[in-house]
Amino acid sequence: CCCDRKRSTRSFHSSVDSSVRVQQCFTDQIPFSLHIMATTAASSHTTAAFSALLQSLGMQNPASLTVREQHASSGKGSGVVMHLSGTVDSDHDGAVVNLAIAKLQAQNPAVRVNKAQLHFAATAGSVGPDALSVSDEDLKELSESPDLFKEKVSFVVQRMQQKGAKVVVHTGAGISTAAKIPDFRGPNGVWTRRDRGQSAPKGIQLDQAVPTYTHRCLAKLVSLGMVEFIVSQNVDGLHLRSGVPVDKLAELHGNCFREICASCGKAYLRAYDVKRRRGPFFRNAEDTLSLSGISHITGRKCESCKGMLRDSIIHFHENLPEHDLTMGQQHSERATLNLCMGTSLHVTPAADLPAMLMDGACMVVVSLQRSGGDVRALNSGGVTVHAKCDEFMEAVMHGLGIDMPNTEEARLAYEEAFREQVSAEQAAEEQEEAAAAKAAAAAAA
């Protein structure tokens, strides 16, 4: 199936651009400007304190920054306005700037940052007009120093623990690679190999995949009320299979385990991939509802109205499910933290949702590579984290004080229990389908 580069949807909100676009990353030099107002008696030390923070956090190119102070007064008192401008090398130094701002405000609550003046400007990357992958430069997998990684995790944990926090997580194929499911734009991704003229990468069948450590952590955080909602671009169904409730999840690109009645709209969640296991009905029927030319007919009938069941996977030129997209937008707009994990953020409209932020909210991107959302995350006051999703989530769970071991023993125990449960569900469904087919044959006779 071709369920990554997303297609148009019926217009439902003027802020959503539903056109089919693949966005590109920025290049190395990012110009930015920032004004910081310090209104305390110690305001003259603000510039020095900020510069020290940048250095301690590992600013790679401090020489590119220009800092000047200007004395000012307002209704809240007199102080110093610090004007900071220059360029940063990729998103590393941009994230350091935002971490330093957060630390400066924590050390001195009287320091005010005018977010309207915080601006990192993006520049376009370079790939062919028909390419679905990213440039060679953006294929590179990056990493963090241990100290900076801890600082970024601490930043996220503090955001999650703030009073009134509303955390929405946006997930992509990168959270499922640990389950042996290929991603799309990684060094060995589906689109990367396609654009190089290579065969598709090998991976596990989706109905054999087991939820990863990240899936299990997110399900736990949802159950604890620490994650309000999950917006996923994945079709592997692993969020639901890990225990995330249906009403806490928007699956923008469908679910390989769900089929829907074309007549009454009733949905069925199966224990198997509905595309791989066809039923006995509608074998020669044409799928006149398909906008892509790909048949969604699964060969099964609706139990309620006997209508045709169709899979829920979204292909090229097809509409995103309006309910899921609407829910994803509404939750993203209300979030205090939009946390993006394992997604390249190159595909709209899914890539636009995390940036729909209310005042005071921020966006964080967790990806081994640079993403199409890095600059928007920096402009929101957020950070980028170059790490594997499981590694990041283990550190976050530890920071939150939640016991969630990420050991081989824990993984094997979970996998054994999960497979036993799935086997029982599949056996029960096979019995039901066999009984239904027998009854249908008897009725026909």
- Which active-site residues does the annotation give? 253
The answer to whether 352 touches 275, Cβ cutoff 8 Å, is: no
Whole-angstrom distance, CA of residue 64 vs CA of residue 73: 29
Whole-angstrom distance, CA of residue 61 vs CA of residue 54: 10
The answer to whether 195 touches 133, Cβ cutoff 8 Å, is: yes
Whole-angstrom distance, CA of residue 32 vs CA of residue 100: 15
Whole-angstrom distance, CA of residue 437 vs CA of residue 445: 12
Whole-angstrom distance, CA of residue 12 vs CA of residue 203: 36
The answer to whether 168 touches 332, Cβ cutoff 8 Å, is: yes
Instruction: Select from 129, 115, 110 the least CA-distant residue to 24.
Output: 129
Bridge partners of 73? 78
Taken as a whole, the chain contains a residue count of: 445
DSSP category for residue 241: H
State both tokens at 414. 């979970």
Whole-angstrom distance, CA of residue 441 vs CA of residue 445: 6
Largest CA distance in the chain: 93
